[in-house]
Amino acid sequence: MEDFRYIDRGKPIPREQYTDQPYVVVADDGAWVCVLTTAYGQEGAAGTHVGITVSYDRGNTWTDLYFPEGDDLRESAYGVLLKTSFNRIYCFYNFNKNNLRNLICRKERLSHRVDMQGAFVFRYSDDSGKTWSERYEVPIRETKIDRENPYGGKVRMFWTVGKPFILDNDGYVIIHKIGDMLTVSEGWLLRAVNMNIEKDPNKLVWETLPDGDIGLITPKGGGLIAEEQSMVVLSDKSIYCVYRSIDGHPVETYSRDKGHTWEQPQYKRYADNRLMKHPRAANFVWKCKNGKYLYWYHNNGSKWYENRNPAFLCSGIEYDTKEGRRIKWSQPEVVLYHEDPGVRMSYPDFIEDGGKYYITETQKLDARVHEIPEKFLQSLWNQFESSDITDEGLLSESEGKSVIDMPELPVFCITDRKSHIFATKSTESGVTFEFIYKAGTGKRKILDSRDASGKGVLIEQISDYRINILMNDGINTCCRSSDKYMLKPDQINHIAIIIDGGPDIVSYVINGMYNDGGQDRIFGFGRFSTYFKDMNGKTKARVCKNVLKLRIYGRALLTSEIISNGRGYKKGGKYEKYD
């Protein structure tokens, strides 16, 4: 079965060359209306413009691109869509109204990129995206960040990526104000009273939120970048917001009064209270029809624009606090990847239609639609309570044995017989080593299947209470350790090492926690060679006596499956069988 996570298997959305932000709303007649930003050139190119296309078969085919600004060469960019109760679809975007041809920047002095300034405008369609209205301009209140920009506020610099939403019939559109190009930013909300029911756009009354002169920023001590806010409305009508920084972590906050004020921003955390990690890239939250949430991010501590591959999803569920409802976040799963780590997929959207689930994304050239299997998402949504033990793909299981028969492990890379030059190709296979292990305080071998040439696999406990795997195919070697201090010494630990031959990464889940590198490393997962073949060494492997249970799977288990297994092995919260 082909790996759905590989981005090149997505279905294409029309574009010119550069492509960004392929966002979709589903009209009442079932049409998918998609807005994107495109250009003949790279991001920020002269003539960048907003395009709209419609699909009547859930992303399989699309109409030709329609450009709301027609032949007008002034830039339009970064469109977002909002559908009302009467099936009106609003499209909001930046518009270079005054045809500015360069932009003063304190750091770069002069930028020829003029796609992130000007007027904020909208058009609307009342026929599911077939035709569009004239252009209207949205008033935006001047604030401190505007007055302190290089133009003293006379030129407004901003853009938008966050999905608009409705709350109590009011429309909310997110913008990201810029104080200096790419070096200072903060988040704001534009509220239109009764947008969900008011049909005359001239009667819309706009308000800029939050109250006061300062928008959404980073936590105390954080950097000057606080941008690309993404928001959802919780069941108690609180607004949850997440956004990017250059601090190595995403930022989150809540509003309990419809955006007028916000809680002190905090760096985002998992339900286990560990900090999440994320570079300067889009990280979006979506509310699903089942009342649960999904969160897209990149699960590494980079602080700039790179390292957006792979993309991860977490699931979220609401819980009560004295301040109001909050969301707790699961451990992550890889949802999309490309075999080249430098490829940057981002600016996704999530679509539910006809009982199926889809994600759009772009790596700045191609925009695509990906169907995401329900089984994958249900496993993620059930991560907090599932205790099922999976046997799918199980190759070997043993308890208390010092020597085991090693199963034939999958091959990751084979010769492509269709290639005239006998090139290799990935099988997208996987292996998972799962064990219940009583950790010691020093170094010891846990499993060793290496032959005389070194081919095979060695799993060890090493310093700082870590696990390390060394795998060798006779030519290539990969070595990757878990995070420090993840093992509980002299206690029983549940450990899984996932070798995923889709994105070619090795990752650890230890005691229910996906290792993300902690404070010591930017990445928790490690990469192995695309040309790594297999780790089949000796037919028998030695196993440490402290391994109480060992399972070997011929596939890469999901994080959620591993956590469910771990819960299933326990009774009353303890590994009673092994104590």
Question: pLDDT digits over 218-246, tens only?
Answer: 999 999 999 999 999 999 999 999 999 99
Average pLDDT for 17-37: 98
Torsion of CA 207, 288, 300, 465, to 10 degrees: 130
Average pLDDT for 517-536: 96
Q: How many residues does the chain have?
A: 579
What architecture is the 7-381 domain classified under in CATH?
6 Propeller (2.120)
How does pLDDT run across 383-413, given as a tens digit for each residue?
999 999 999 999 999 999 999 999 999 999 9
How does pLDDT run across 243-278, given as a tens digit for each residue?
999 999 999 999 999 999 999 999 999 999 999 999
In the prediction, which pLDDT does 360 show? 98
How does pLDDT run across 458-497, given as a tens digit for each residue?
999 999 999 999 999 999 999 999 999 999 999 999 999 9
* β pairing state of 311-320 and 333-336: antiparallel
DSSP string of 93-105?
A: EEE-TT----EEE
- Is the CB of residue 501 less than 8 Å from the CB of residue 426? yes
How does pLDDT run across 335-360, given as a tens digit for each residue?
999 999 999 999 999 999 999 999 99
How does pLDDT run across 151-191, given as a tens digit for each residue?
999 999 999 999 999 999 999 999 999 999 889 999 999 99
Looking from the CA of 433 toward its CB, the CA atoms found within 13 Å total: 25
pLDDT at 434 over 90: yes
Residues 516 and 300: their CA atoms lie apart, in Å, by 7
CA 314 to chain centre: 8
Kindly state the DSSP code that residue 577 receives in the 8-state scheme: G
* β pairing state of 266-267 and 284-287: unpaired
Residues 12 and 60: their CA atoms lie apart, in Å, by 8
In the prediction, which pLDDT does 108 show? 65
Cis omega (within 30 of 0) on the bond before 310? yes
In the prediction, which pLDDT does 236 show? 98
DSSP string of 52-112?
A: EEEESSTTSS-PPPB-TTTT--S-EEEEEEEE-TTS-EEEEEEE-TT----EEETTTEEE-
Q: Cβ-count burial of 56 within 10 angstroms (0-12 exposed, 13-18 middle, 19+ buried)?
A: middle
Q: Count other Cβ atoms within 10 Å, centred on residue 445.
A: 12
pLDDT at 118 over 70: yes
H or E element, residue 513: strand 513-514
pLDDT band at 575 (very low <50, low <70, confident <90, very high): confident
pLDDT at 42 over 70: yes
3-state SS, residue 465: helix
In the prediction, which pLDDT does 443 show? 95
DSSP string of 391-409?
A: -TTEEEEESS-SEEEPPPP
* β pairing state of 165-167 and 170-180: antiparallel
Q: Count other Cβ atoms within 10 Å, centred on residue 327.
A: 24
In the prediction, which pLDDT does 464 show? 96
Scan for tokens 């920009």, then name that residue.
149
| Average confidence score pLDDT of the chain | 96
Where is average pLDDT lowest: 79-88, 99-108, 438-447?
99-108
- Is the CB of residue 79 less than 8 Å from the CB of residue 89? no
User: Structural domain boundaries of the chain?
Assistant: 7-381, 394-578
Residues 6+ apart with CB under 8 A from 375: none
In the prediction, which pLDDT does 566 show? 96
363 - beta bridge partners? none
Residues 78 and 70: their CA atoms lie apart, in Å, by 16
Q: Two tokens at 11? A: 């279905």
| CA dist 566 → 207, 436, 440, 459, 510 (Å) | 50, 9, 20, 19, 10
Find the helix packing angle between 559-569 and 374-381, rounded to 10°: 50
In the prediction, which pLDDT does 460 show? 98
CA 266 to chain centre: 19
When computed from its CA atoms, the radius of gyration of the chain, rounded to whole angstroms, is 25
Residues 6+ apart with CB under 8 A from 129: 27, 31, 33, 52, 54, 89
In the prediction, which pLDDT does 117 show? 96
Residues 301 and 250: their CA atoms lie apart, in Å, by 10
- Is the CB of residue 254 less than 8 Å from the CB of residue 239? yes
Residues 362 and 364: their CA atoms lie apart, in Å, by 5
pLDDT at 110 over 90: no
Instruction: State residue 546 phi and psi, 5-degree precision.
Output: -80, -5
- Is the CB of residue 40 less than 8 Å from the CB of residue 49? no
Q: Two tokens at 100? A: 């500015």
In the prediction, which pLDDT does 572 show? 74
pLDDT at 414 over 90: yes
pLDDT band at 194 (very low <50, low <70, confident <90, very high): very high
Nearest C-alpha neighbor of 221 from the set 251, 242, 177, 176: 251
Residues 503 and 426: their CA atoms lie apart, in Å, by 10
3-state SS, residue 565: helix
Nearest C-alpha neighbor of 190 from the set 165, 223, 213: 165
DSSP string of 293-348?
A: EEEEE--S---SS----SEEEEEEEEEE-SS-EEEEE---EEEEB-SSTT---EEE
Residues 152 and 542: their CA atoms lie apart, in Å, by 71
Q: Cβ-count burial of 274 within 10 angstroms (0-12 exposed, 13-18 middle, 19+ buried)?
A: middle
Instruction: State residue 201 phi and psi, 5-degree precision.
Output: -65, -25
Residues 319 and 359: their CA atoms lie apart, in Å, by 26
Per the rule left: phi > 0, alpha: psi between -120 and 50, beta: everything else, 514 is beta
pLDDT band at 57 (very low <50, low <70, confident <90, very high): very high
CATH of domain 394-578: 2.60.120.200
Average pLDDT for 205-230: 98
pLDDT band at 101 (very low <50, low <70, confident <90, very high): very high
Q: Do 7-381 and 394-578 come out as alike in CATH topology?
A: no
In the prediction, which pLDDT does 285 show? 98
Q: Two tokens at 177? A: 């104000």
Helices and strands (H and E) in the chain: how many: 3, 42
How does pLDDT run across 515-525, given as a tens digit for each residue?
999 999 999 99
In the prediction, which pLDDT does 274 show? 98
Q: Two tokens at 89? A: 């679809």
pLDDT at 73 over 80: yes
Q: Two tokens at 175? A: 């913008």
